[in-house]
Amino acid sequence: MRLRLARRALADAKSKKTWWQHNRSGAADLFDQELSATLERIATAPWLGQRVEQRGADVSVRRWMMPKTRNHVYYAIDGVEIVVLAIWGAPRGTMPKV
């Protein structure tokens, strides 16, 4: 199945990558590595992500936890394509509007 990152997810990834490089010098590449592994997993088994409730959404949204960096990857399956909608810090305790 094809996987793509929506504009917002691309911006989230860039922002989080920059933060990790500037604030976690001992693990500057950890976010990139974990995101790459997560996107591979989602591409091969998208149904394994946890479903999340979205009011008024016409598409089913799922999320996958990146445990080392403590971020969720929110995505939707749209026919033959998986669309990553957002990458959101789990410690926030809230969900992004996706």
Q: Whole-angstrom Cα distance, residue 72 to residue 69?
A: 9
Q: Which residue has the higher pLDDT, 25 or 63?
A: 63
Give yes or no for a contact between 61 and 98, defined as CB atoms under 8 angstroms apart: yes
pTM assigned to the model: 0.89
Please give the domain boundaries of the chain with CATH numbers for all domains: 2-92 (3.30.2310.20)
Average pLDDT over residues 16-31: 90
Distance CA 24, CA 56 (A): 38
pLDDT tens digits for 33-73? 999 999 999 999 999 999 987 665 667 899 999 999 999 99
Q: Which residues of 10-36 are buried (b: 16+ CB within 10 A; e: fewer)?
A: eebbeebbeebeeeeeeeeebbeebbe
DSSP per-residue letters across 63-80: EEEETTTTEEEEEEEETT
